[in-house]
Structure 1
Amino acid sequence: MRYRGIKKGRFISRTNRFAAEVELEGEAVACHVKNTGRCRELLLPGAQVFLEESGNAARKTRYDLVAVYKDEILVNVDSQAPNAAAEEWMRAGAPGGELPGIRRLRREVVWGNSRFDLFAETEEGPLFVEVKGVTLEKNGTALFPDAPTLRGVKHVEEMTRWVKEGGMGLLLFVIQMRPVLGFAPNMETHPEFGEALARAKEAGVRILAMDCQVLPDSLNIGAPVPVHLPIFSFHRNVHPAKQNPTGIK
């Protein structure tokens, strides 16, 4: 996916969850932050950032903050970008993901109490995909989430239920940077998410983490990285597989 009208600036401060002040061409300007996460280790005073000009004269803020340098690594912080990149990646055949052949792809499909990001009709049956963007990195490992996410736990649990009822499910973590050595759930910040992820893996949900080539004006999914999950002791309780899971809206 690509941006237009990219400009380089220096981060000054974050004024609230949705806005920041950036020095651009010697002037302090207000911009929209396209990520409501904390990003505390990224959005630091003096950090080099990249802004996209919105092109909407009616907006209060002229620019969107889409990427920031952390040391020598450029990190995309646009929370909308992973879904767009994932859709492009799947339409291109999901290179590196080893997914079954995709015949049809739809966005925002409801099943049960959740709306999953992507639904694919594949050569092996229906596949739901939930996409999570990852911007947090510590000691070479990409971590998710950067803040507690009850909504994220719900998505994982619903995906687990879908797979137990006979469907195929993929939790796709789009790491909005490279290089990283691997991916893991952030057990320090939200251990319940890590446990839900481990349960999903045991139930048969596929968990895939992909790094990205990040440039100031683009984000493209790259190659898979190792996934490291915590070890729990669960009692396996999987429903018999059904040929045609129902409930898709």
Structure 2
Amino acid sequence: MQFDPKLETGVLLKRYKRFLADVALPDGQVITIHCPNTGSMKNCLFPGQQVWFSTSDNPKRKYPHTWELMQTDQQHLIGINTGRANALAEEAINQHIITELQGYDTLKREVKYGDENSRIDILLTSQERPQCYIEVKSCTLLENQVGYFPDAVTTRGQKHLRELIHMVTQGHRAVLLFVVQHSGITSVKPARHIDPHYADLLEQAVMRGVEVLAYKTALSPQGAHIIEPCKVML
């Protein structure tokens, strides 16, 4: 995935009201940009460090700029825009990078499914094998050299795990895919210390046959690409 148009840069001043952040531009101007991350962004906020943002030409947008990348105090890069994770996953599947998800004929996004009024991020289908339901999660929380998910209590994430378990009971394949958008993360683990119920549900899901994958993303101001598998510690 290449960023087009090219990203612009500035220095983070603060994030507030959950979806907004103030950024100082190189010329000294301060602008407010949209923060497309619904989580707590724990360990992802570094005031005074460099950020990169995209710009939309949609005249109806109140805030035309979208926060894409954050540089940490340790010079790591973090993908702030969690909405990019699904596109990164789709690109990696189509480019045969995620080897566990090959051999299907069609790929669809945002398909309604399940018993709890959900939409699956990616649905893979083939005439010769069961359908594959893929829930994509962006992992950005780094603690003690380990990536954790979630970074806040997530009732929505808990619902997604229940839906995946249900798909397995219906004879389908179900996959939870962590897209790692932090250059310092080398392994992924459920954040039991943040959301113990999610961790318990994930353990149940694995026991019932839900597969868990994690893949690392190479990040730069020019673009982002999933490059290699990442260890999952359950």
| Counterpart check, 1:176 vs 2:181 | yes
2:190 counterpart (166, 185, 194): 185
Structure 1 segments unaligned to the other structure (5+ residues) = 230-249
| Counterpart check, 1:74 vs 2:77 | yes
**CA deviation profile, 1:55-96 (whole Å, cap 9, x unmatched):** 223422231111101121111110110011111111223x24
d(CA) in 2 for partners of 1:34, 1:77: 7
State the partner residue of 1:121.
125
Moved more, 128-137 or 57-66: 57-66
State the partner residue of 1:90.
93
| Counterpart check, 1:22 vs 2:23 | yes
Q: CA shift at 1:179, angstroms?
A: 4.0
- Please tell me the root mean square deviation across aligned C-alpha atoms, in Å: 1.4
The one-letter amino acid of 2:68's match is V
d(CA) in 2 for partners of 1:218, 1:140: 24
Q: Is the 8 A contact 1:97 1:208 kept in 2?
A: no
State the partner residue of 1:243.
none
* TM-score when normalising by structure 2: 0.92
Q: CA shift at 1:41, angstroms?
A: 1.9
State the partner residue of 1:159.
164
Structure 2 segments unaligned to the other structure (5+ residues) = none
Same amino acid, percent of matched pairs: 33
The one-letter amino acid of 1:89's match is A
d(CA) in 1 for partners of 2:42, 2:25: 21
Q: Is the 8 A contact 2:176 2:211 kept in 1?
A: yes
**CA deviation profile, 1:28-48 (whole Å, cap 9, x unmatched):** 111111112121422222021
d(CA) in 2 for partners of 1:217, 1:56: 22
Q: CA shift at 1:213, angstroms?
A: 0.5
1:220 counterpart (222, 225, 232): 225
State the partner residue of 2:65.
63
2:136 counterpart (107, 131, 135): 131
d(CA) in 2 for partners of 1:130, 1:174: 10
Q: Is the 8 A contact 2:2 2:224 kept in 1?
A: yes
Query: Secondary structure at the residue paired with 1:98?
Result: helix
d(CA) in 2 for partners of 1:53, 1:100: 34
Q: Is the 8 A contact 2:46 2:71 kept in 1?
A: no
Q: Is the 8 A contact 1:162 1:169 kept in 2?
A: yes
Classify 1:100/1:7 alpha carbon distance in 2 versus 1 (closer, same or farther; 3 Å): closer
Q: Is the 8 A contact 1:31 1:61 kept in 2?
A: yes
| Runs of 4+ deviating beyond 3 Å | none
Q: Is the 8 A contact 1:8 1:49 kept in 2?
A: yes
State the partner residue of 1:2.
2
**CA deviation profile, 1:133-190 (whole Å, cap 9, x unmatched):** 1111112111110010011011011101111221101100001122423100111110
Classify 1:198/1:40 alpha carbon distance in 2 versus 1 (closer, same or farther; 3 Å): closer
Q: Is the 8 A contact 2:42 2:141 kept in 1?
A: no
- Higher radius of gyration, 1 or 2: 1
Q: Is the 8 A contact 2:93 2:102 kept in 1?
A: no
State the partner residue of 2:33.
31
Classify 1:100/1:124 alpha carbon distance in 2 versus 1 (closer, same or farther; 3 Å): farther
d(CA) in 2 for partners of 1:208, 1:202: 15
d(CA) in 2 for partners of 1:139, 1:104: 39
Classify 1:218/1:28 alpha carbon distance in 2 versus 1 (closer, same or farther; 3 Å): same
